[in-house]
């Protein structure tokens, strides 16, 4: 018998065994996941905002720590401040092991209000929380509002004359932090003149272009514009002043007499049907990042502060926060 005949015979035997296995309804063992083939981070907004920053942090860190040999691509999926990306992943890419999707506290607030349609907080696999920022109120550098008190006085005089822009619609986290500020100042939140934007990049463009007077924003989005001399931050919604060359000089709302605090957690989730092998690969990757001093420096350079949580611990945290946000949304009349 020739070598060629023997090879063909072995192939036929393997094929016959495979067909027998399938005929008996048995499944073949799945291959272990050894890393994404073409890694992707989905930023659920236009370029330039917090979701973009979150994805680019992972993009840099995963290569820096030699977890990925080539940088992941960042793709943008704006719409509904996260709703379009959430629905797309759950409905169309539920088992994609190559993609991670950025989320923030704003995502959880929108989920709490049912803004992501038929899907709730149980529809995805929560992967990692990698840092926290804080809400902030920003104006152009040449604004007549020099302090938070200047802004509050103008709002008390005529809230309809102050054009406030924010990423997301009424009920979103940027709206919520200004609503909390208004309530603390004795102003009715519904009387504010509010303009909704799609993400922090569009918001900064509108403020610097003079289309709005005030931005309800995020400290991490705003610091680069402060450093360039184009923007001034009137207050940060943290419990105490933040460390850093720029942020150390920014007063909190609390120290100016308004008891408002709004942390903005940033992290990643994956689709609901991503295999345990793939999920655990990504979880281990982020566990390694969060234990790295180099990652801590990279995170700090982006004005993000420590928040290290993955896996089951993060899942429990997310469910607890969504429950809290439902109570908050109800308090502000956002749930009918």
Is 44 a residue whose pLDDT tops 90?
Answer: yes
* Ramachandran quadrant class, 257 (left: phi over 0; alpha: psi -120 to 50; beta: rest): left
Which is nearest to 188 in space by CA: 332, 324, 335, 334? Answer: 332
Q: Is residue 22 domain-resident?
A: no
Are 122 and 270 found together in one domain?
yes
Domain boundary among 261, 287, 315: 261
- The predicted structure's pLDDT at residue 92: 97
**What's the pLDDT tens digit per position in 215-262?**
999 898 888 899 999 999 999 999 999 998 889 999 999 999 999 999
Q: Is residue 336 domain-resident?
A: no
Are 214 and 320 found together in one domain?
no
Are 158 and 105 found together in one domain?
no
- The predicted structure's pLDDT at residue 53: 92
Q: Name the range with the highest mean pLDDT among 157-166, 280-289, 295-304.
A: 280-289
User: What mean pLDDT is predicted for residues 40-63?
Assistant: 94
Structure token pair of residue 64: 């820096």
Name the one residue in this structure whose structure tokens are 């931050």.
Answer: 233
**What's the pLDDT tens digit per position in 173-220?**
889 999 999 999 999 998 999 998 877 788 889 999 999 999 999 898
Helix or strand holding residue 5 (H, E): helix 3-23
- The predicted structure's pLDDT at residue 335: 73
Whole-angstrom Cα distance, residue 177 to residue 160? 18
pLDDT confidence band for 36 (50 / 70 / 90): very high
Q: 3-state DSSP call for residue 303?
A: coil
Q: 3-state DSSP call for residue 221?
A: helix
User: What mean pLDDT is predicted for residues 110-136?
Assistant: 95
227 and 250 Cβ atoms separated by less than 8 Å: no
Q: Is residue 25 domain-resident?
A: no
Domain boundary among 219, 241, 261: 261
Q: Is residue 81 domain-resident?
A: yes
Are 179 and 245 found together in one domain?
yes
Is 169 a residue whose pLDDT tops 50?
Answer: yes
pLDDT confidence band for 147 (50 / 70 / 90): very high
Are 148 and 244 found together in one domain?
yes
Are 234 and 269 found together in one domain?
no
Are 226 and 252 found together in one domain?
yes
- The predicted structure's pLDDT at residue 31: 64
CATH number at residue 103: 3.40.190.150
Domain extent, residue 172, equals 134-261
Domain boundary among 211, 243, 261: 261
Which is nearest to 126 in space by CA: 265, 307, 285, 269? Answer: 269
Q: Which residue has the higher pLDDT, 153 or 4?
A: 153
Name the one residue in this structure whose structure tokens are 């690969």.
Answer: 281
- The predicted structure's pLDDT at residue 5: 45
**What's the pLDDT tens digit per position in 92-122?**
999 999 999 999 999 999 999 999 999 999 9
Q: Which residue has the higher pLDDT, 27 or 62?
A: 62
What's the mean per-residue pLDDT of the chain?
Answer: 89
């Amino acid at each position: 018998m020739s070598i060629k005949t023997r090879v063909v015979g072995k192939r036929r035997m393997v094929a016959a065994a495979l067909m027998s296995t399938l005929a008996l309804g048995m499944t073949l063992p799945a291959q272990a996941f050894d890393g994404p083939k073409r890694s992707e981070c989905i930023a659920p907004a236009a370029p330039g905002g917090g979701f973009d920053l979150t994805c680019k942090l992972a993009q840099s860190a995963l290569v820096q720590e030699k977890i990925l040999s080539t940088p992941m691509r960042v793709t943008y999926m704006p719409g509904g401040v996260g709703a379009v990306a959430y629905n797309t992943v759950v409905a169309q890419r539920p088992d994609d092991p190559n993609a991670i999707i950025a989320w923030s506290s704003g995502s959880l607030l929108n989920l709490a209000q049912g803004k992501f349609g038929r899907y709730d907080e149980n529809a995805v696999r929560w992967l990692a929380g990698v840092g926290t920022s804080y809400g902030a109120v920003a104006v152009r550098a040449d604004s007549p509002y020099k302090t938070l008190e200047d802004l509050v006085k103008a709002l008390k005089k005529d809230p309809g004359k102050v054009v406030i822009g924010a990423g997301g619609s009424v009920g979103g986290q940027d709206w919520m932090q200004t609503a909390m500020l208004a309530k603390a100042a004795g102003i009715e939140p519904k009387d504010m003149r509010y303009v909704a934007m799609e993400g922090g990049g569009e918001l900064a463009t509108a403020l610097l272009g003079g289309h709005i007077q005030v931005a309800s924003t995020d400290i991490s989005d705003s610091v680069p514009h402060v450093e360039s001399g184009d923007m001034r931050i009137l207050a940060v919604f943290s419990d105490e002043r933040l460390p850093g060359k720029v942020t150390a000089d920014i007063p909190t709302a609390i120290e100016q007499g308004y008891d408002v605090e709004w942390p903005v957690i940033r992290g990643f989730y994956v689709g609901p049907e991503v295999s345990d092998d793939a999920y655990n690969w990504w979880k281990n990757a982020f566990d390694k990042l969060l234990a790295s001093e180099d990652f801590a420096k990279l995170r700090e350079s982006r004005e993000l502060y420590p928040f290290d949580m993955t896996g089951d611990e993060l899942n429990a945290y997310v469910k607890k926060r969504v429950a809290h946000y439902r109570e908050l949304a109800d308090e502000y009349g956002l749930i009918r």
